[in-house]
Structure 1
Amino acid sequence: MMRNVAIIGAGQAGLQLALGLQASGYGVTLVSDRTPEQLLSGRIMSTQALFHDACTTERQLGLNFWEDACPPVEGIALSVPHPELPGQKALAFSARLDQPAYSVDQRLKFAGWLREFQTRGGNVVLESADIQTAERLSSAHDLTLIATGKGELGQLFARDPERSPYSAPQRHLALMYLKNVAPRPDHSAVSFNLIPGVGEVFLLPGLTVAEGGGTQPYENVFIEAIPGGPLDVFAEVRDPRQHLEMMQELLRQFLPWEYERTQHAELTDTQATLTGRVTPGVRRPVATLPSGREVLGLGDTLVLNDPLTGQGAGSAAKAAAIYLERILWHGDRSFDRVWMTGTFDEYWSYARFVTDWTNALLGPPPPHVLEVLGAAQTRPGVAHAFVNGFNHPPQFFPWLGDPQAAAQFVAQHGVAEHRAAGFTRA
């Protein structure tokens, strides 16, 4: 007998899981608060970088519709400006990823996936979901998942205090999509600029919507400002052109090598700017509705990290893949609290490394981490290992929190040139 699943939330995790279940013969009801047309014409939503392992979860379902058109992210380049020599770098290295990452504008992806779900016969409910929506769906489906952390639905899930050290945003965020950005020399990359005591600035290429239809390449510029610091200037900015001008002035002041690339840039469209704040935290996986029926959280409903490490979309993709496998494996048995908790625990066995890594980078790097970054400047193997940890964050452990393990990490990866490193010295 066909099983029925309801998913409230049509983002990376919700859509990917809905399409995966649909392909396996499940009846799926998907709740979205926007149509494909509204998504395409709306404001940008995220930086959405997906590294190789997360991309694989889409490929396995045949959902990588834009991969051939999307400019690949071939590596990661980290720079720290010199505090006393303007325009100079105190630390810099780059290395290639073993497999490229991709950044497809979520407006483009979510609109395309939602249309695909509808074309395949999926049931889409267009509404701004609330607790009554969850009650209605849970009474008619074998399993109901909440894939949105906003509003009263997100508040259903209790905060996990042991896994949630922050009670306020640690960064104030500003994002824009640009065209006419000069490419990096050597290879494309996430340009990770760390400004001690000030914040972080990232640039990375991707694919976005084009005005008038179609797609176009773009460069994402993402600012993570320490609250109250010199990068924290976008909260009251409403005019897109002013947003761009302020960003360019900050790059000119703090990161002139990035200003050189963006000084002639333009916004890709009138909706290509975004500001926001995120309070990182982890929630309990199961919530009880007023009726007594239980629902399971999915993706960043339960695990919300600061976007500092670029893991949000990838973590959502991996959550969807784990949930899909466990739902299919469960067969016709009841989706009870034990199963729900076990499903989240399997995801958390991976996600905890992302959370610990991201939370660690929100604070000043300890000496042993600075020693690893310093070693990466002269040891290509260390640079290569560090960069490829972005694809699989468990690789940052145990050395991230253990000075002795960090020394062993440097020794292990710094013995000889690594052929795949694609290393460039500052």
Structure 2
Amino acid sequence: MRKILIAGAGQSGLQLALGLQAQGYEVTLMSHRTADEIRAGRVMSTQALFHTALRHERDLKLNFWESPAPDIEALGVTVAAPDSHDPGPAHRAVDWLGPLDGAAQSVDQRVKIAGWLDTFAQRGGQLVIHGATVGDLDYFSRLYDLVLVASGKGELVDLFDRDPARSPYTRPQRSLAASYVHGLGPRPDGPDTGQVRLTMVPGVGELIVMPTLTTSGRADILFWEGVPGGPVDAFRGVADPAEHLALTLSLMERHTPWEYARATKAELTDSGGTLAGRYPPVVRNPVAMLPSGGLVLGVGDAVVTNDPLTGQGANSAAKCAATYLASILEHGDKPFDEAWMRTTFARYWEPVGRPTTRWTNTMLAPLPAHTISLLATAADHPEVAHRIANGFDDPSDFEDYFYDPEDTERYLASQTGF
């Protein structure tokens, strides 16, 4: 059976490794940390996998945490009114909740990645605990039929050249700060159901609140996305977890008081329950050449890195892994040459990567009037709210009505009769 090396053990790398392993491939997986080190470490991300991404995990029977993880049955959008400091609904310019056709779920990657690493090793996979270097891949490329890079950080990413035509931003567009907490209360003015809430504060940033399953059980994530240089861009240099949470809550009290009202008893899940940072969204050339002339193919975040504002990182990684798995299986014993690599990436890019990147980059910019009108209309027209909410599962649907003012006008007219 063919031998495949995967450098990087995140959502895409592990999902692909386990999928190939189940099909009898000889897979070597390189991870820079052990499962136990990941479990005991700091949170690595925020994540909510929607229906399609979860289906890919179910197809591979990797949905180990589906029962204990809280179901996310709806997605809500709020736009804060200008200079609003009151928790009442009158101080929210837009506020609605759209049901999801299939439940979403969030599982702390410390739980999932550690569990999948253990599973890969228990099933006989070759697991190498070592931070892969370019030199390592250059050597191993002679021994394997295919080498894949699934790491979004470190020197391996630099193998893949930035694609300027697909990467409009050269700097981070948000500062990111997440806190995993216990003790968050329900929204007093909304249904008592699992939901992701996205609150947009014009000129300031966004607050995302979602339920999750973490190392200590059910919890919630409070996630600030701050406009650089704005009041929420305040976490640089904050190393103490308690100070990080206190700052998070203080900013909620100032900018999203209706969310702060249910967070007054929030406590960190553990000392590793905070994360802060920033990075520029980027799309890279999916194929890289090693010093000796061997080729490697990038997977997931290694080649398409979007800002987490729209919650697409883990979803895109899962979809990319599923696409690559199908392409590898279909290829049989033929050589994994550059033409195959580029075709495989295109199979992911066109239906998933491109529309997801376009939507996320659009949401990072100040929203135009027709988009604000679309979001506002959803508050009074449930079908509009329903469609926008389910676009988080399939961002390609936004192509029909989200970007062009005339398309938006036609769609709203079809829903409102005006």
Name the SS for the 2:105 alignment partner: strand
| 98, 110, 115: which one aligns with 2:113 | 110
Paired position in structure 2 for 1:269: 270
Aligned 8 A contact 1:48 1:104 in 2 = yes
Letter in 1 for 2:346: D
Paired position in structure 2 for 1:394: 396
Aligned 8 A contact 2:84 2:255 in 1 = no
- In 2, distance between residues paired with 1:245 and 1:89? 24
Aligned 8 A contact 1:149 1:155 in 2 = no
Q: CA deviation at 1:183?
A: 2.2
CA distances 1:104-127 after superposition (whole Å, capped 9, x unpaired): 000000000000000000000110
Moved more, 171-180 or 149-158: 149-158
| 194, 197, 210: which one aligns with 1:191 | 197
Determine whether 1:326 maps to 2:332: no
Paired position in structure 1 for 2:405: 403
- In 2, distance between residues paired with 1:375 and 1:231? 28
Name the SS for the 1:49 alignment partner: coil
Alignment of 1:268-417 (within 5 A): 268-349=269-350, 350-414=352-416
Letter in 1 for 2:373: E
| 163, 166, 173: which one aligns with 2:169 | 166
CA distances 1:256-289 after superposition (whole Å, capped 9, x unpaired): 1111111101000000001010110100011000
Aligned 8 A contact 2:198 2:209 in 1 = yes
Paired position in structure 2 for 1:242: 243
- In 2, distance between residues paired with 1:104 and 1:19? 18
Q: CA deviation at 1:306?
A: 0.5
Q: CA deviation at 1:414?
A: 4.4
Q: TM-score, normalised by structure 1?
A: 0.95
CA distances 1:274-313 after superposition (whole Å, capped 9, x unpaired): 1010110100011000010101000010000010000000
Name the SS for the 1:197 alignment partner: coil
Name the SS for the 1:67 alignment partner: coil
- In 2, distance between residues paired with 1:183 and 1:36? 33
- In 1, distance between residues paired with 2:18 and 2:258? 42
- In 2, distance between residues paired with 1:413 and 1:37? 52
Structure 1, unmatched stretches of 5+, are 211-215, 416-426
Cα 1:243/1:338, change in 2 over 3 Å: same
Moved more, 238-247 or 328-337: 238-247
Letter in 2 for 1:32: S
Letter in 2 for 1:41: A
Moved more, 18-27 or 93-102: 93-102
Name the SS for the 1:116 alignment partner: helix
Aligned 8 A contact 1:381 1:414 in 2 = no
CA distances 1:134-189 after superposition (whole Å, capped 9, x unpaired): 11221111000000132221101111010011111010110110001112341221
Name the SS for the 1:50 alignment partner: coil
Aligned 8 A contact 1:294 1:337 in 2 = yes
Name the SS for the 1:262 alignment partner: coil
Paired position in structure 1 for 2:85: 86
Aligned 8 A contact 1:382 1:414 in 2 = no
Moved over 4 A (4+): none
Cα 1:26/1:408, change in 2 over 3 Å: same
- In 2, distance between residues paired with 1:86 and 1:23? 54
Aligned 8 A contact 1:287 1:294 in 2 = yes
| Residue correspondences, number | 410
Q: CA deviation at 1:84?
A: 4.0
Q: CA deviation at 1:90?
A: 1.2
Q: CA deviation at 1:401?
A: 1.6
- In 2, distance between residues paired with 1:380 and 1:387? 10
Pairwise CA RMSD of aligned residues? Answer: 1.1
- In 2, distance between residues paired with 1:401 and 1:259? 32
- In 1, distance between residues paired with 2:18 and 2:141? 19
Letter in 2 for 1:70: A
- In 2, distance between residues paired with 1:411 and 1:291? 59
Paired position in structure 2 for 1:8: 7
Cα 1:85/1:40, change in 2 over 3 Å: closer
Aligned 8 A contact 2:96 2:379 in 1 = yes
Paired position in structure 2 for 1:418: none
- In 2, distance between residues paired with 1:296 and 1:413? 44
Determine whether 1:35 maps to 2:34: yes
Letter in 1 for 2:98: A
CA distances 1:218-251 after superposition (whole Å, capped 9, x unpaired): 1001100001101111111111111111111111
Name the SS for the 2:225 alignment partner: strand
Paired position in structure 1 for 2:207: 201
Q: TM-score, normalised by structure 2?
A: 0.96
Paired position in structure 2 for 1:179: 182
- In 1, distance between residues paired with 2:307 and 2:406? 28
